Structure 1
Amino acid sequence: MPAQEKGPQPGRADDGPWVTVIGESLVDIIHDPRRGTATPEAHPGGSPLNVAVGCSRLDLRTKLVTHFAEDPYGQMIADHLHSNGVDAIAGGSFPTSTAVASLDTTGAADYTFAISWDLKGASVPALAAVEGSLHVHTGSIASVLPPGNKSVRRLIEAARPHATVSFDPNCRPAISRDAAGARDQTEDFVAASDIVKASDEDLRWLYPGRTPDESMAAWLKLGPALVALTRGADGPVIITRRGRVELPGEAVPVADTVGAGDSFMAALISGLAQLDALGAPARERLQDITPGELQALAAYANRAAAITCSRPGANPPTSAELGSLTGSSAFRTGRPW
């Protein structure tokens, strides 16, 4: 399909720098036995799409470089992005991807995929997007699945002179069955990034022979300024060269965990934007985040994930729900909520 780009959305402030997210869009088909129905629900999803929506809801001007087709599922994705104020640059030549999510009794999701990934026809607007952005985020299936993964890597290299870069591997063993190959690809993206986030499940699969703390420290040595780990109900850990913060998970009634890590990532980006720590000229600022700022940042992203867990599906919070990082008690006192 030809590249498609949506213009600015009504009601959104259209000044200030852009955040660009690169990666897959898909439709989640959710089977939840707790709801007492055999009919699955279909929702737009994909980790990068969820991060883009999360960033936009937190008042960041956001573009998503992605793939979806001109088919019913693709229209569902296009409508979702438009309604959330995300400008879409869509390329590719395959049908819209799907993921079947089967939830267990705790709300945790297990996925099977029918997915393809490429950016055919979108290279020119995608390059313009990353070169005009304050920050660029990527990860998940888009960083490992050919042929699109090579395009993503080139876009990250083009972005670095202009923008800070974040990466979330969001590993999918059902897609990347070669753990050693996925590990090599992941470390290549880690080394090209300023901010990296992973889950404890990601690190256990990538590095079964070492602890998450050892893996985080090894990633920090590859070059990022900040490495974040999410651990579900056990809460997040964030490390920099200046310090480490660990918080417990927030106690909330869990509807499901779909999209919680993506909401954490979006809030991490938003929080760093509020600290003026995004953009290539701010790399030194990013390196110098204080322990108190790091504590507040972890609490802010932790809260975003908790809000998402409290309601069904990948439904990240708005800025009205989450508040601002600098206005929070955690920022003022250096203590979590």
Structure 2
Amino acid sequence: MFTVIGESLVDVVYGRAGAPPTEHVGGSPANVALGLARLGDAVGLVTQFGRDVRGERVEAHLTRAGVTLTGSHLTDRATATATARLAADGSAAYEFDLRWDPATLAAYPGSVAVHTGSLGTLAPGGDVLADLLGRIRRDTVVSYDPNVRPDLHGTREYARAQVERFVRLAHLVKASGDDVAWLYPGEPVADVVARWLAAGPSLVVVTEGGAGARLATPGYTVELPAPPVTVVDTVGAGDSVTSALLDGLYRHGVLTVGALPRLAEETATEVLRRALRAAAITCGRPGADPPTDAELAAAT
């Protein structure tokens, strides 16, 4: 069982000029939970959404894939939205309307790993989340994706402090090159990765869109190119990487607090290559639509 904690929402996507927007269920943690479920993993999502039409759509989308929801996921507020405006290359710029304020948080019993990040780490819910991760990280793998949104994270200094707080709590960190560039302007990615690894994680992955990704441990770095794909949009691509990373590490029997520090380079390379294939499949279709296990196997 995996536990994923954080926001679920509806992406309102504006594409071609003059074309009406389309709506897709999204939210980075929700996308990760969906991706894990489609890969055949048992996963529970700790989230919040409204008792409205969009909330009904979110719930149906997630539960249809096999994601388990807590009984406290419904709120009286409207379901959150992320308005995405696509550029010509399929990349997206976002505007958000949401609030995340759980009074308490808990992982599902027996979870092999807990993944979180994005807007779920912001105040006021972020303090509750950090307390939970601090209590479980000795025995349970913590996975973290900053997924920085400058318009919501506040000043760069505040965002950097929040990200570094959760990096110290994590065993696995997955970030994008854009995250690193905004948090640490002008710093080489390799220097930031080395500093994060020194803070405690066993594994740091940084994705670079069409340029591929790097996976770093204290002992080695693996860099792989992205598979070729005709990009429809990039919504949810990074989340597909996260899902496939967690799933791949679990399949190899190394997703434990004790095993991650001893991850073999050959295994790391195989897991990263598969995760990049998952992202490529997601980029080839609209919205955050991660591949099933069968689709990913067929793309091997």
TM-score calculated relative to the size of structure 2? 0.95
Aligned twin of 2:111: 133
Unpaired runs of at least 5, structure 1: 1-17, 329-336
Q: Which secondary structure state, in structure 2, belongs to the residue aligned with residue 264 of structure 1?
A: helix
Match of 1:235 among 194, 208, 212: 212
Does structure 2 conserve the Cα–Cα contact (< 8 Å) formed by 1:93 and 1:118? Answer: no
Please give the alpha-carbon distance, in whole angstroms, between the structure 1 residues aligned to 2:107 and 2:233.
37
Residue 31 of structure 2 corresponds to 50
Q: CA deviation at 1:209?
A: 3.4
Deviation at 1:81, TM superposition (A): 0.9
Of the structure 1 ranges 192-201 and 204-213, higher mean CA displacement relative to structure 2 is found in: 204-213
| Aligned counterparts of 1:287 and 1:225: Cα–Cα separation in 2 | 5
> In structure 1, what residue type is equivalent to 2:287?
G
Structure 2 Cα separation of the partners of residues 162 and 55 of structure 1: 21
Aligned to 1:102: 85
| 1:304 to partner: Cα distance | 0.6
- Distance between the aligned counterparts of 1:288 and 1:187, measured in 2? 23
2:277 counterpart residue number: 303
Give the whole-Å Cα distance in 1 for the aligned partners of 2:2 and 2:34.
Answer: 11
Q: CA deviation at 1:266?
A: 0.3
Structure 1 residue 167 and structure 2 residue 144: aligned?
yes
Contact preservation (8 Å) 1:92, 1:117: no
One-letter amino acid of the counterpart of residue 322, structure 1: L
Aligned length: 298
- Asked which structure has the greater RCO (Cα within 8 Å, sep 6+), the reply is 2
33, 42, 62: which is aligned to 1:61? 42
1:255-308 Cα distance to aligned partner (Å, 9 max, x none): 110000000000000011011112xxx322111111111111110111111110
Question: Given that residues 92 and 119 in structure 1 are in contact (C-alpha distance below 8 angstroms), is that contact kept between their aligned partners in structure 2?
Answer: no
- Does the aligned pair in 1 maintain the 2:106–2:132 contact within 8 Å? yes
Q: Residues 23 and 66 of structure 1 are in contact (CA less than 8 Å); yes or no, is this contact kept in structure 2?
A: yes
Please give the per-residue CA displacement for 1:30-70, whole angstroms capped at 9, x wherever unaligned: 1110xx75221111100000000001111110000011011
Distance 1:147 1:227 in 2: 26
Q: 1:321 and 2:300 equivalent?
A: no
SS in 2 for 1:175: helix
Aligned partner letter, 1:57: R
Q: How far does residue 321 in structure 1 lie from its aligned partner after superposition?
A: 1.1
Within 1, Cα distance between the matches of 2:135 and 2:79? 27
Say which SS state the counterpart of residue 153 (structure 2) adopts: coil
Cα displacement (A) at 1:22: 0.3
* Mapping 1:197-276, distance limit 5 Å: 197-276=174-253
The change in CA–CA distance for 1:161 and 1:91 in structure 2 (over 3 A counts) is farther
Residue 78 of structure 1 corresponds to 59
The whole-number CA distance in structure 1 between the counterparts of 2:148 and 2:157 is: 12
Between the aligned partners of 1:57 and 1:19, the Cα distance in structure 2 is 13
1:19/1:134 contact within 8 Å kept: yes
SS at match of 1:20: strand
Q: How far, CA to CA, are the matches of 1:127 and 1:313 in structure 2?
A: 29
Deviates more, 1:74-83 or 1:230-239: 74-83
Q: What is the CA-CA distance between 1:92 and the residue it aligns to?
A: 4.7
Matched letter for residue 294 of structure 1: A
**Runs (4+) of structure 1 moved beyond 4 Å?**
none
Q: 1:219 to 1:322 in 2, by over 3 A?
A: same
CA apart distance, 1:247: 0.7
Give unmatched runs, 5+ long, in structure 2: none
Distance 2:173 2:64 in 1: 28
The answer to whether the 8 A contact 1:242-1:290 is kept is no
SS, match of residue 320 in structure 1 = helix
Deviation at 1:21, TM superposition (A): 0.2
Report if aligned partners of 2:51, 2:76 keep a CA contact under 8 Å in 1: no
Query: Which of 301, 307, 312 does residue 286 from structure 2 map onto?
Result: 312
* C-alpha contact (below 8 Å) 2:3/2:107 kept by paired residues: no
Conserved 8 A contact 2:51-2:77: no
- Measured in 1, the distance between the counterparts of 2:289 and 2:80 equals 20
Q: d(CA) in 2 for partners of 1:56 and 1:157?
A: 26
Partner of residue 133, structure 2 = 156
Paired AA for residue 134 in structure 1: V
Query: Partner residue of 1:15?
Result: none
Matched to 1:141, the amino acid is L
Q: Which residue does 2:8 correspond to in 1?
A: 25
